[in-house]
Amino acid sequence: MKVLVCNVGSTSLKFKLFDMPGDVVLAEGKVERVGRTDAIFHYGNRGTGYTVQLEDQSILSYAEGIRRYLDCLTDPENGVIAHVSEIERVGFKTVLAKGFYGIHELTPEVLQAMEDYLIVAPAHNGPYLEAIRQIQQVLPGVKLVGVFETAFHTTIPKARRIYGIPYEWYEEYGIQRMGYHGASHGYIADVLTERNGGTGNAISCHLGGSGSLCAIQNGISVDNSFGFSLQTGLIHANRIGDTDAYIIPYLLAQGKSVDEITKGMDKQGGLLGISGVSNDLRDVQIAAEGGNERARLAIDAYCAGIIHYVGAYYAELGGLDHLVFTGGIGENSSLVREKVCSAVAHFGIVLDEQKNAQRSTQARIISAEHSKVKVWVIPANEELGIARRTYEYQ
């Protein structure tokens, strides 16, 4: 079965066409700066990498982006399929829909449920709704499946999901800890299972533009650091992470508007907010090395959040077999890995300094031979996770 996986950003669209089962990537594509006349379009077929890269293209909508990609897929020279009708399913890394937390066909009811939580996940649900509706028109009749980022976390026990709020807020509005990054943490559970025959007790640290930790026990999620919205848990690139709810009424009383407060929480917080330098950890690291105190503070606060959750999950799991780093920061920042692992060395974690410093795009163990806990770096592959779930969907 040919499964197209579609990852939608606020101004980007990424595709991978899989041949399932077998996990074979036939072709991939990416459109950056959707909505502009200077968009960048990439396309690559199996084995050749990005064979087509066109800059300064006018790609004004998601529909135009996908049409361009479908043209490449069926192109006699670079294409991999004869006709778009060979695509049987499209899988989306959708984020949140009220009452639909698993894997669902994207029916009008499910799209309405995404609309209902637009205010909770504005940066994600808005672009996804727009892209899904446009793709429905470009690929009529194809089954569209939403692998919601909450899906892997539906196994988290209710006692860990419930907030200490009036119970009717939970019943009426669905307010609870959701857990996100399910495609990434689910993929990590798959890799550990493939390599070790099971996950045992594992903590997966997805550290990218946004970050979360997931406690995994025997293959299933039993906790995740995200709460109701994606503004929670760890400090993110420019989103705030866990904070005190009473900051909001206090700031309102100081004369800040709701818009100013939401902008502060969504765009001006996180690594950017603390450091005042950048939302990209690479820039923050360079500034810290140059003696910038706020940049140092941002890195320490970022790592403190990770250490906090590793400790909490160690207690919840009753021990630890695997600690996994994934995502742009998890895969690339030996500094963050070192700071975290040295802080929790008393859990039986011994990092191999040389292995930690090495760069590789392969899944690898970076702990010392005698480390009780195995520490891994596993490159994120959310698309493969989505392709598998979309293919299996009944």
Name the site residues for ligand ADP (rule: CB under 6 A).
208-210, 237, 280-282, 285, 327-329, 332-333
Residue length of the chain: 394
Compute the least distance from the CB of residue 305 to ligand ADP, in Å: 15
Question: CA geometry: angle at 10 spanning 384 and 235, to 5°?
Answer: 80
DSSP H or E run through 300: helix 293-317
**Euclidean distance between CA atoms 163 and 42, whole angstroms:** 44
Whether the upstream peptide bond of residue 249 has omega within 30° of 0, thus cis, is no
With respect to ligand ADP, which residue has the nearer C-beta, 280 or 316? 280
With respect to ligand ADP, which residue has the nearer C-beta, 201 or 204? 204
Compute the least distance from the CB of residue 92 to ligand ADP, in Å: 15
Look up residue 16 and give its amino acid: K
How far is CA 218 from its chain centroid? Answer: 22
With respect to ligand ADP, which residue has the nearer C-beta, 91 or 174? 91
Compute the least distance from the CB of residue 198 to ligand ADP, in Å: 26
**Euclidean distance between CA atoms 109 and 135, whole angstroms:** 17
DSSP H or E run through 329: helix 327-332
Compute the least distance from the CB of residue 58 to ligand ADP, in Å: 25
Compute the least distance from the CB of residue 149 to ligand ADP, in Å: 12
Compute the least distance from the CB of residue 86 to ligand ADP, in Å: 29
CB atoms within 10 A of CB 270: 26
Structure-block tokens of residue 13:
């669209």
Compute the least distance from the CB of residue 234 to ligand ADP, in Å: 12
With respect to ligand ADP, which residue has the nearer C-beta, 1 or 123? 123
How would you class 1 by CB atoms within 10 Å of its CB: exposed for 0-12, middle for 13-18, buried for 19 or more? middle
Distance separating the N- and C-terminal Cα atoms of the chain: 14
With respect to ligand ADP, which residue has the nearer C-beta, 256 or 267? 267
| Closest residue by beta carbon to ligand ADP | 328
With respect to ligand ADP, which residue has the nearer C-beta, 45 or 184? 184
Is 123 strand, coil or helix?
helix
Q: Cβ neighbours of residue 295 under 8 Å, at least 6 residues apart?
A: 275, 277, 284, 285, 287, 288
**Strand 211-217's sheet: what is its strand order?**
220-224, 211-217, 201-207, 322-326, 374-377, 364-365
With respect to ligand ADP, which residue has the nearer C-beta, 135 or 235? 235
Compute the least distance from the CB of residue 167 to ligand ADP, in Å: 34
With respect to ligand ADP, which residue has the nearer C-beta, 223 or 383? 383
**Euclidean distance between CA atoms 151 and 147, whole angstroms:** 7
What backbone torsions phi and psi does residue 17 show, to the nearest 5 degrees? -100, 120
With respect to ligand ADP, which residue has the nearer C-beta, 176 or 279? 279
Compute the least distance from the CB of residue 13 to ligand ADP, in Å: 14
